[in-house]
Chains A and B, each alone.
Chain A
């Protein structure tokens, strides 16, 4: 990690999100909103289908960064905008979320990472930035 500097790219990560993952996250987070598990309710409110919790997408992008830095306790701050929902089909493959990231600044051992999260080629998180303490 000593070579981390502005411009360093994180190794990209591809994650699949299935309906089972949504059910598990609903239970763990307590967010039982039926748009995350019922096609009937999701389409009834105008969504194309069941969508992943925004907070799950945010957590997956955090996992991408913590795996890179090697320590989930290294995160100092983290923020995202929810720009587009991740639609999760009712099949075994689910939705593919592609994560990439780049270090935009390193100051006093804290790296600022700009994260890109895409699904179906479209960005699903905007202004996703995490500040992480680099191992000394």
Chain B
């Protein structure tokens, strides 16, 4: 049974995640994003970006491991083995670029139980190390009792 006292709290900020240029290229290749600004730093700079541009869903690569770490913590009481992803959204306050150093704070927004299923909403606030907002992601995760 997940511990509802976590609802409304925020976890400690993550260590800064350094967005690798090659990681962006690898991710773009994996999702078939063919735009040159994702893989060619010269093309990205010519388009006015400081470095290569991450595809829109790239933040999952560094936010999901943080979410998994929280959900596998026995203190929260979540059955990770039976989890399914219900929905996902992302708001990009600006594009993510190669060389960004990003800090993520997970907010436990909501938890409800219906017909033996637990529905958890987690919000990730992603900021640059200077505190400026970069992305806000939200995931609805569902598991059994």
Q: Mark A residues whose CB is within 8 Å of B.
A: 15, 21, 24-25, 27-31, 45, 54-56, 58-60, 62-63, 66-67, 70-73, 75-82, 126-127, 130
Contacts and interface: CB of A to CB of B under 8 A. Distances in A.
Interface string B28-70: 1111111101100000000101000111110011001100000
Interface of B: 23, 26-35, 37-38, 47, 49, 53-57, 60-61, 64-65, 82, 84-92, 95, 138
Given A54-B85, A60-B32, A72 B27 contact: no
Nearest to A22: B30
A51 to B, nearest CB: 10
Given A55-B60, A72-B37, A73-B37, A25 B89 contact: no
Contact of B33 (A70, A72, A78, A79): A72
Contacts, number: 110
A29 B28 CA distance: 10
A15 B30 CA distance: 13
A70 B34 CA distance: 10
B31 A25 contact: yes
A67 B33 CA distance: 8
Contacts of B37: 71-73
A27 B88 CA distance: 20
A34 to B, nearest CB: 11
Nearest to A64: B32
B57 A59 contact: yes
Given A28-B61, A30-B61, A63-B55, A82 B85 contact: yes
B91 to A, nearest CB: 4
A82 B140 CA distance: 10
Contacts of A126: 87
A136 to B, nearest CB: 13
B57 A62 contact: yes
A30 B49 CA distance: 26
- Which of B27, B30, B82 has the most chain A CB atoms inside 10 A of its CB? B30
A91 B65 CA distance: 30
Given A30-B65, A62-B56, A73 B49 contact: yes
A73 B47 CA distance: 10
B61 to A, nearest CB: 5
Contacts of B38: 72
B89 A80 contact: yes
B61 A72 contact: no
